[in-house]
Structure formats: C-alpha cells, structure tokens
Structure 1
Amino acid sequence: MPAYATAVFDLDGTLLDTLEDLMLSVNAALASQGLPPRTLDEVRRFVGNGIRLLVRRAVPAGTPAEQEAAVFDAFRAHYAAHCEDHTGPYSGIPELLAHLRDAGVALAVVSNKGDFAVQELVGRQFPGAFDAVLGECEDRGIRKKPAPDMVEAALARMGASREGLVYIGDSEVDVQTAANAGCPCLSVAWGFRSRAQLVEAGATTIVNTPAELERVLLGDTPRPPA
C-alpha cells in the first residue's frame, strides 16, 4: 500500500523547470517599459508568490503603479506565448507520476502561477496525469498559497479526504502551505531554493531526487531527514 493516498504537488521548481522562461518573460516585460533586466538568480528569488508579486519584485523600487501595471500586462502576454520555450519536467518526474497513478495515488497540482499558464503547461506536459489542477484563482474566492484554500479546493474537486494527504513543494511558501493545510510536507532539493533555505523555512523532510520521492510516497523507504 502507498504511504499516502493523495499527493498534492507544487508546479514550478517541483515538477517543471520553468525558471528560464520566467526570466525571459520578466525581462521582455521590463524592456517594454525601458526598465533594466533581471538575472536568473534574481528571478529565482522573486518567484513563489504569484506573478503579480513577481513583477512587483522585478521592477525597480519606486516604479509608478501605472508603469508596474503595464509591466504586468506585458509579462502575461509574453509568458502566455512563450511559457514552454525552455520549460520541461525535471528528469524522472514523468516516471514518478506514472508510478504513483499505477499505485492508485490521487494526484493534484496547486500553483500560485496564473491559472491560464498552469492549465496550459500541465495539460501539455502531463496529459491525463492529474485529477485536479489549480492555478491562481483569487477572483473565485480561493486564496493563493500559503493559505490552505487551494489544497482544500483540490481535495474537493477530487472528492478526496484529508486522510493520507501529503503536500510536495520546493520553497518556503510550500512548507507554510502544508502547515496551514495541516498535512505533512515533503520538500524537494532540486527546485528554486537551496537545502539551507528549506531548512531555515522549517522543512523537516527533504528528498534529493524524484526516485527518492517515489520511494517515500509509496512507502518503500523511511522518510529522510532535512
């Protein structure tokens, strides 16, 4: 029997390496307003709380609100057209998802990325792999992470109970989301945050590879410490 009945995954930095496309769209949007570009490491630090905060962090301090809004609109348009130029699953992730489905584990994705991009990316990169997929949808009264709302909405869509629930992510936002949802968190070491940052955020279980994550989820190995 699997160790968990339901696995809810973060998307960026957990299932998909999206960082280069995010950086390119950020810099295209900044350039459209004559603003300086950001580095890959800067964008890595800025992601995790949704695209509106990503843009707010990317524009220079003191940028007028109307110019920030123009950058946001330019980012959405560019990312919608280019979100898969360099994006793909981390090595071993497709096999992990297939093995979890074969074992009867219910699977969901919840992401603070705009829902338009989440649905596009998951539908194309992981067709048929997930039972529920949610991007940012605060206009529907579902607060973004680290509030527990997205996890709860995913459970409702799947008709799944909280028993046997686990949350998997790569950042401090994900650690806090799991805490707020009252479920265990498995943190992945291959994403957008370092092991030291995860430990500082309160991660208690960190896995190094998708194969190790699979063994923990299916109950084939003890949970590794942080």
Structure 2
Amino acid sequence: MKFRSITFDLDGTLLDTVADLAEACRLMLAELEAPPRSEAEIRRFVGRGMVVLVERCLTWTTPPDAALLARGIAAFQRHYATVNGRLAQFFPGVREGLAAWQATGLPLAVVTNKPAAFTGPLLERTGIAHYFSAVVSGDTTPHRKPHPAPLLHACAALGVDPAANLHIGDSKHDIETARNAGCAVYCVPYGYNEGEPLRAADCDALVADLGVALRLAHSA
C-alpha cells in the first residue's frame, strides 16, 4: 500500500453524533427560551464546529448578537458535556473497519473540528480511543478544517509526509482540508455534509464504508 498513515474525520464518518448534538441543542434553546430545532435541522447545521452549530441554531432571520451567541455557546457546552456519547451510534462497518485498518500496522489519527474537551470523552465512551496514535481537535491548532493546519499537525504527529497520508471524511470540508494539505482523500456517502450529497468526482474515491476504503487503498 502506498499510504503510510490514515486520518479520519469523526462526526459523520465514524460516529453518528447528531442525536447527542440535537439533545444538547434542545436543552440550550430551552434554557434561552428560544424556539426549538428539529434533529433534521441539526444534521444540516453540523460540519463547521461548535460555534457555527450554535449560531445556526440561534439564527432565524438574522445572526444572533454577540451576547446571545456567548450565552448559547456556554449553555451548549454545559449540556453537551453531559450528553456527549450517550446517544451516538456507529455507522455501519466502522467497528470492523477500524480493526482492519489497525491490523495493517499503519498509524491512525482522528482529525475533527470538535473541541478537545468533547473529542477525548467521546472516543473513550464509545470504546475506540485505543485505535488512534494521535487526535487533533478543533482547538488543537489555531485553525480548524478546512484549513490544512489540523491535518498537517496530525501527519507531523504520526511522522508521515502528508503526501503519504490518506484522509477519510464525509464532507466537502474534509475534501478541501485534504487538498490543502496535499493528502489523498476518500469520502463516505452517509455523513452530514450540511445536507448536500457528495459526488465521487469531488474526491479520490467515494467508498461505502471503511472496509471498502481499505480494499481500495490496497490497490491504489
């Protein structure tokens, strides 16, 4: 295999975390006495990190003012810390796929826009933290995806040139991040991508699950 390391997006690629996020948003909005959002709306809002998620929840006609946004972020963080990982589900093939990737002996890492305070607990509560040699969260570097800094940071931590890394994600932001960092990128079609379908033409491959990604990588 030409790849020397593998990086994975988290929300929408490994875990379906919308139920957790929707519950935290529900509690936040209730605390602020704001109108509720549906789980379908939350699914479309996910992808650009916590602050944007909260802002989208609070935006009906115009973006919230700074004070309301700050209150929303604080409330969301408090509620999400409680529900994080409780309702999250693995996407099909993820458990088997991670085990198969680990068996290759290649170093694996997570690169996510989720803040570190939530990333570590989520990986531990779902029992997959041991698969990863490095974890890069949304506040690990000064920039978040789609800036290349998080992915470059992960490659450096794994001791691998970005050109030899394969990134696996679920959104246009993962594709842009990988392109910016000089990595190959495979995408799964079942994630969030802000409600828009992914096209195979936009990435190096559109794969049904992590097992398919591994078989394709062996022939790349």
Relative to the length of structure 2, the TM-score reads 0.91
Q: Which amino acid aligns with 2:46?
A: V
Q: Which amino acid aligns with 2:170?
A: D
Which residue of 1 is the match for residue 155 of structure 2?
Answer: 155
The structure 2 residue matched to 1:133, chosen from 132, 135, 140, is 135
Q: Does 1:35 align with 2:23?
A: no
How far the C-alpha of 1:182 sits from its partner, in A, is 1.2
Kept in 2: contact 1:148–1:178 (CA 8 A) = yes
Percent sequence identity is 34
Partner SS for 1:153: helix
Q: Which amino acid aligns with 1:19?
A: V
Which residue of 2 is the match for residue 53 of structure 1?
Answer: 52
Distance 1:160 1:204 in 2: 20
> Which runs of 5 or more residues in structure 1 are unaligned?
none
Partner SS for 2:82: helix
Q: Which amino acid aligns with 1:143?
A: H
Number of equivalent positions: 217
Which residue of 1 is the match for residue 212 of structure 2?
Answer: 212
Q: Which amino acid aligns with 1:116?
A: A
Aligned-pair RMSD on alpha carbons? Answer: 2.1
Q: Which amino acid aligns with 1:134?
A: V
How far the C-alpha of 1:141 sits from its partner, in A, is 4.5
Q: Which amino acid aligns with 1:182?
A: G
Which residue of 2 is the match for residue 103 of structure 1?
Answer: 104
Kept in 2: contact 1:118–1:135 (CA 8 A) = yes
Q: Call closer, same or farther: CA 1:148–1:102 in 2, change over 3 Å.
A: same
Question: Is the deviation greater in 156-165 or in 75-84?
Answer: 156-165
Q: Call closer, same or farther: CA 1:129–1:41 in 2, change over 3 Å.
A: same
Q: Which runs of 4+ in 1 moved over 3 A?
A: 193-196
Distance 2:213 2:39 in 1: 27
Partner SS for 1:166: strand
Which residue of 1 is the match for residue 203 of structure 2?
Answer: 203
Q: Which amino acid aligns with 2:106?
A: V
Q: Which amino acid aligns with 1:214?
A: L
Kept in 2: contact 1:101–1:129 (CA 8 A) = yes
1:113-163 Cα deviation digits (max 9, x unpaired): 1111111112332031001011111xx643100001011111122222224
Relative to the length of structure 1, the TM-score reads 0.88
Kept in 2: contact 1:119–1:134 (CA 8 A) = no
Q: Call closer, same or farther: CA 1:143–1:193 in 2, change over 3 Å.
A: closer
Kept in 1: contact 2:175–2:203 (CA 8 A) = yes
Kept in 1: contact 2:43–2:194 (CA 8 A) = no
Which residue of 2 is the match for residue 11 of structure 1?
Answer: 10
1:60-111 Cα deviation digits (max 9, x unpaired): 3353321121111010011111011211322221221111111112100010
